[in-house]
Amino acid sequence: MADTWQERDDWAALFQEHGAEGTLLIVDQRQDAQATWVHDAERARQRFVPASTFKVPHTLFALDAGVADDEFQVFAWDGTERTAAAWNADQTLRSAMRNSTVWLYQHFARELGEESERRYLAEIDYGNAEIGSDLENFWLAPGHLEVSAEEQIGFLQQLYRNELAFDEADQRLVKDLMIGEAGRDWILRAKTGWSGELAWWVGWVEWPSGPVFFALNMDTPNRMDDIPKRDAIVREALRGLEALP
């Protein structure tokens, strides 16, 4: 993929305008486009902690192992008050994906165990496939699992085509859980992630003529104050490519 990447000076200006340091990789696979655009190609190949973007493959692991049955199963809240109000309630896969409910995926990790987590990560060739010794936080804290923007898109492309080593029904369910917005002829499927120091937004916009994949990661020295920049940069770049209304 990297041989055909085209650097975008206007995206460099976009990051500068928003006071953000990061990378954005967009792979446009619409029939009339077929191009790969990037800001900071070196960083797009650099691995970082995936944070909650890992909920996408992690949901596939849970479904495949029978740790989660379907989108209707209710997982009972343990009564522990957490910082995000939406987490302090029973969850389904849909609400957990929407609200990025960390405790449910920590439950999945405990149920799966180290051996299964390592096996699944190796099967899908996800980043460095490392979980270290911290089973409940390996995708949240730096120093364990890491993945690049390029690798995020490679994984999403396989998911889009139902080509991962999981039941097609499970792959279709996870894609349904990822839907954030939709119009008459387009669907935005994506997942955010935030480690506290680094923010992600990865996904794709589905058009009749084909998908447009994107992966952004950026530093968040101002923590929550920097989070809106993630959304703004990606949307402006996609609109510039007429990949988002």
Cα–Cα distance, 59 to 177 (Å, whole number): 10
pLDDT exceeds cutoff 60 at 1: no
Domains of the chain: 2-240 (3.40.710.10)
Please give the order of strands across the beta sheet that includes 198-207. Answer: 5-7, 35-39, 22-28, 210-219, 198-207, 187-194, 179-182
Angle at 117 between CA 102 and CA 191, to 5 degrees: 40
Q: What is the pLDDT at residue 74?
A: 98
Neighbouring CB atoms inside 10 A of 82's CB total 13
Cα–Cα distance, 229 to 185 (Å, whole number): 26
Active-site positions read 52
Q: What is the pLDDT at residue 33?
A: 80
- Report pTM: 0.96
Task: For residue 43, give the nearest of 118, 134, 151 by alpha carbon.
Answer: 151
**Tens digit of pLDDT for each residue in 12-48?**
999 999 999 999 999 999 998 889 999 999 999 999 9
pLDDT band at 92 (very low <50, low <70, confident <90, very high): very high
pLDDT exceeds cutoff 60 at 2: no
Token code pair at residue 178: 């990822």
Q: What is the pLDDT at residue 75?
A: 98
Q: What is the pLDDT at residue 32?
A: 83
Average pLDDT of the segment spanning 64-75:
98
Angle at 161 between CA 160 and CA 166, to 5 degrees: 90
Q: What is the pLDDT at residue 189?
A: 98
Q: What is the pLDDT at residue 36?
A: 97
- Specify the DSSP element, H or E, that contains 206: strand 198-207
**Tens digit of pLDDT for each residue in 114-168?**
999 999 999 999 999 999 999 999 999 888 999 999 999 999 999 999 999 999 9
* CA distance to 69, 95, 112, 132, per residue, from 201 (Å): 27, 18, 26, 24
**Tens digit of pLDDT for each residue in 154-210?**
999 999 999 999 999 999 999 999 999 999 999 999 999 999 999 999 999 999 999
User: Contact at 8 Å (CB) between 76 and 95?
Assistant: no
